[in-house]
Structure formats: C-alpha cells, structure tokens
Amino acid sequence: MRTGSFRTSIPWLFLLVICTAGTVIRLSPNHRALTMTLPAADIIMSFKTMLIGIVLEALPFMLLGVAVSAFMQVFVSEQTLRKLIPNHPLGGIAVACLLCVLFPLCECGIVPIVRRLMAKGMPVYIGVVFLLVGPIVNPVVYAATLTAFRSNPEMSYARMGFGLLVGCGIALVVYAIKIRQPLKLDKEQLYAQAQQARQEGSTPTAIGHRLSQAFSHMGHEFFEMGKYLLLGSVLTAAIQTGVPRSAITGIGSHPLTGSLVMMGFAFVLSLCSTSDAFVAASFTGAFPPSALLAFLVLGPMLDLKGTLMLLSVFRGKFVLLLSILVVLFVLGGVLLIHQFGSALGLT
C-alpha cells in the first residue's frame, strides 16, 4: 500500500536522534556499566508491568474520546458545527483553543473526535489545533504539571503558553498550505450508517435509534483505534525496558543535544500528558529547563502510539508534514527559550 512507506518514514526523525545518542553513549567510559543486562525474568516482568501501566493509563481517555466522538456524530449536525466555528482563521483558532481548555482529553482520546469533526466539515487547521493543543492546554494537565514542578511553577506556565503557541503556529501553516482532505476515508464511506440513522430519526423512537447508533459507532471505533493503541503500547514498553534512562543523561547538558534527546525520549516513551510531567521532573538537574520543556510539549503532540493512531485515520503525507512541523517548531522554540530562560524564570 502507498501509506505503508509513510508508516515507516515517520519515526526516522526520532530514530536518528536515538542513534546519535547511542553513538555518544558507546564512546563514553561508562558504556560497559550501561550495557549490563538484567536477568530475563526481571526484563519480562518489567515489560509486562510497563505495558499494563501504559494501556491502563491511556484506555480511559481513549474510551472517553470514542464516546464523545460517537455522540457528536449522531447528535451534532454539520450546520451546528459551522455556526460554532467562525470563518476567519484567527477567530476559529481562538474558539478551538477555548474548547481545548474546557475538555480534558489526552492525545489518545482526541484523535477519533477530530476525525468525526473533520468529516462533518470542520476545517483542517482547526482540527490541528485540537490535535496539538488539546492534550496540553487543559486543567488536568496543568494541575499535574504544577504538582510535579511545585518548586518551579514557572515550568507549568511555560508548558501551557509554549504549547499554545506551537499548536496555533502550526495551524496557521496548515491553513496557508490549504490542505483539503487529509482523512483516509471520505465522508460517505465513514458515515453511511450515521446518515441512515438520521433518516430513521423521524420515527416515534428517534432517540432510541440515535442512542443505538451512537453505541454502535462507539464499538466499531473502539476496536478500530484500540489495535493501534495496543501496538504502540507494546513498542513503547519494549523501548522503556530495553533502554535504561541513565544511558541518556550524560549528554543532556548542552541545550541542543539535550533538547533532541528529550524530544526523542518523549516520542518513544509515549506517556500520557496527564502524567508525563512527573517523569520530566525526575530529569531536573541532568537536563536544562528548555530540554524538559521540549519533552513536555512534544510528547503530547507527537509520540509513538499517537503516530500509529494518526496513521490509522489520516493520510501518510499529512502525518509526515505534521510531524516535521512539530519537531521544527518545538526545537526552534526551546532553543530561543534557552536564550531568554532567565527572563522567564526557567533557569
């Protein structure tokens, strides 16, 4: 298939980072200690524990996203959606950012919602705002980040503000490019059943039919998205088990290499945005604050399991473009922030 090549090309940006880090590690005097292996039983137990933890962490949010997506499909019409979102791009982005603040969904739950909304006629650049800003700028993530960085609350403010700027900036780029149809399936293929449900809505049991249709959509979408979530979780658990965290802390002092390593680390760990701040806080002192900020912003926008879920919904070219833009915006932004970190209170 044509999209198959893109499935393998997306992670190359991050594999390059990991390979670079591995080269540096091999040249370090502590390489022998870093490559000591654990007993097979401990490795298997660690892998199972991490896999179960990742799945249980992401599953509730995916279920919530699938439920919201199904009910939006059945009960929210295209006309209502057009009335809610202004035609002007700046106004539409502002409304989307406000909705992201109100709905606490992580990257696992937002993908099915955005697919439904785009198929109903929502502009692509508004969908990008939901995909990128939604998992970061919401009360749950803010509270978790503030708790993890209680001794440095400026990191919480920086994460919210920087995530907002990156998401809106990429949305404006997508608007300028004028991407028409990034979804794999068109509206007729994806929502034939929903159109039938609306036709049946004129019967006395319209609400019953709509509820039945919504639950049918939930079941179909849960199994469709769940297999990619499970695959991503297996890969993530394997990477977490095989790559010791201590192996990358020795190259984190420089702002550029530190940011690249933390961005690659965020991609492969695929942590939920409601809990990744606690992992980032454990690297305080080993990496500069700008590198920690790169971890906190890139992870919810682009990670391994999220990329697989995006590829199940969107065309490969669109996912590749989105990935490149996220990497460039986050890396360029954190390097600028490093230069002015003292003014922001991040040093």
- Token pair in block for residue 157: 């403010």
In terms of pTM, does the model score above 0.85?
no
Distances (CA, A) of 209 to 51, 62, 222, 242: 38, 24, 20, 49
Nearest alpha-carbon partner for 131 in 293, 301, 295, 314: 301
Could you write out the DSSP letters of every residue in 123-177? -HHHHHHHHHHTTTSSHHHHHHHHHHTTT-THHHHHHHHHHHHHHHHHHHHHHHH
pLDDT tens digits for the chain (347 residues)? 444 444 444 444 444 444 444 443 343 444 444 344 456 777 788 888 878 877 776 677 667 666 766 676 667 665 666 677 788 889 999 988 888 887 666 676 678 778 878 887 889 999 999 999 988 987 878 888 888 888 888 999 999 999 999 999 999 999 999 887 888 765 555 555 445 444 444 444 467 777 777 777 677 667 766 766 677 677 767 766 776 656 666 666 678 888 998 899 889 877 777 778 877 887 787 788 899 999 999 999 998 888 988 998 899 999 999 999 999 999 999 999 888 765 555 65
Type of residue numbered 228 = Y
